[in-house]
Amino acid sequence: MRELGAYAGSHLVAHEAYSFNNCHFVRFISVNSELGHNDCKRFLGRRFYISQSHEVIAAPKVLVVDDDDLIRWSLVRFLSHAGYEVTTAVNGLEALTIAGTLHFDFVITDLCMPELDGWKLLDKLMQLQPPPRVIVMSAHEERDDHRMVKEKGGWAYLEKSGLLDRIIEALVNGSSK
């Protein structure tokens, strides 16, 4: 553990400090401060990175939605290691419930799922304020899927083959806008 310095007159103690792609990530375990309860909740247990100008910036939050356990597990491992804060849902209905209570910077969703498919989920997510950037993925690409995702407000459409490289590229591009 190490103390990172002050934020609003408070001392932040980091746990799990590591680097990835020239970014330094931390997870805070204690705040020795005069911060209010809500400000402390913003820090504790969350993943942050330290910018080159030494600002503490929250890691982007990603909701991964897929009914395939292996895809969800792979994306969680890959994205967590890359510094993203990841939550999962097994279908669109569960994703909507989660997205209704928490804000996500990105939602990565499969198209073909039970209960509420990716198309309907995309429509509902675009109604949130502010809407997350939605990355749609599918193992079965149809001719017009890419165009339809863009028309409905989606950020990117990806085929599942070679998925991890394209997901990180879409997240990085989305974070820089």
Spell out the domain ranges in the chain. Answer: 2-58, 61-175
Tell the CATH superfamily of the 61-175 domain: Response regulator (3.40.50.2300)
Indicate the Cα dihedral angle 119, 122, 124, 129, nearest 10°. -170
Mean pLDDT, to the nearest integer, of 15-32? 48
Its pTM surpasses 0.85: no
Sign for the pseudo-dihedral over CA of 83, 155, 55, 100 = negative
pLDDT band at 56 (very low <50, low <70, confident <90, very high): low
Q: Is 26 helix (H, G, I), strand (E, B) or coil?
A: strand
pLDDT in tens, 136-151: 998 877 778 889 999 9
Distance CA 135, CA 123 (A): 13
98 — pLDDT class (breaks 50, 70, 90): very high
Distance CA 8, CA 98 (A): 31
pLDDT band at 29 (very low <50, low <70, confident <90, very high): very low
Q: What are phi and psi of 17, to 5 degrees?
A: -80, 135
Enter the DSSP assignment of 29. E
